[in-house]
Amino acid sequence: MSKHTILVAAVAGLVLALEASAGAAPVAIVNPGFETRDLADGAWGYSLDGEGWGYVDNDQYVGPWDLDAVTYGGIAPEGEQIGWANSGDGVPGGFGQILTETLAAGMTYTLTVKVGNPPDYPWFGYCVQLLAGGTMGDSGDQLADPITGGFLLAQDYNTLTIAEDTFATSTVTYVYNSAHSGHLGEPLQIRLLCLPNPAEWDDTEADFDDVKLDAIPEPATLALLGLGGLGLLLGRKRK
């Protein structure tokens, strides 16, 4: 086998190794399972102040819930607690979190969330969103702070049919689009929303748990890294 062939094979192996390892490090999310405060069995919480999550368009009707022995079989998808959210008045409402990770070119972002249809509470669906930008305000109390603004990158708008008293996994994938270059460097934002009753403004509920976000370099980006490495190696050989 020639040295040139060995170099090409080595760079190809490097590209594959980079691709395999790229998805191994998830994006940091604060309190992804709503476990920060340890509640008593069956207890609800109405505060998320300082716990990562804010509220979106629903007057702070969000919080953690330590499941009782009956609801969802008494088993959370992750840990012991889940997050509950009511809709807003005629609009989707729920959780929001602005991350430290920023939107970067050449990346694919995959957001997964467990979404639950609660028994004994009105259910009209859910929406899981990934955005760029946005701000967290100060509510001035000990509940949750408001999340506003942001540019929608991708969403799952109630595509799953979720049976009552069960969870299902929602997946949102965003492949970087150069048309969104004006948002590069802005913090990523996650929203977990409960859809309202379209007929009247009664509270509806959706539950969430086990929030994860992965940022993976696109194959073209990895290939450019590999080709750059190959060029450096061949350039050294010619010298």
In the chain, where are the structural domains located?
24-217
Distance CA 129, CA 94 (A): 11
pLDDT beyond 60 at 135: yes
Rounded mean pLDDT, 203-212 = 96
Distance CA 188, CA 176 (A): 12
Q: Which value, to the nearest 10 degrees, does the dihedral of the CA atoms of residues 222, 228, 230, 235 take?
A: 180
**Chain segment 74-122, per-residue pLDDT in tens:** 999 999 999 999 999 999 999 999 999 999 999 999 999 999 999 989 9
Rounded mean pLDDT, 203-219 = 94
What sign results for the dihedral spanned by CA atoms 135, 139, 144, 148?
Answer: negative
Using N-to-C axis directions, what is the helix angle for 219-238 and 3-22, rounded to 10°?
Answer: 150
> 31 and 95 in contact (C-beta within 8 Å)?
no
Mean pLDDT of the chain: 86
| Residue 134 CB coordination number (10 Å) | 21
pTM of structure = 0.84
Strand order in the sheet with 62-66: 62-66, 81-86, 205-217, 107-117, 166-175
Q: Which fold has domain 24-217?
A: Jelly Rolls (2.60.120)
pLDDT of residue 114: 98
**Chain segment 45-78, per-residue pLDDT in tens:** 988 888 999 999 999 999 999 999 999 999 999 9
Distance CA 81, CA 76 (A): 6
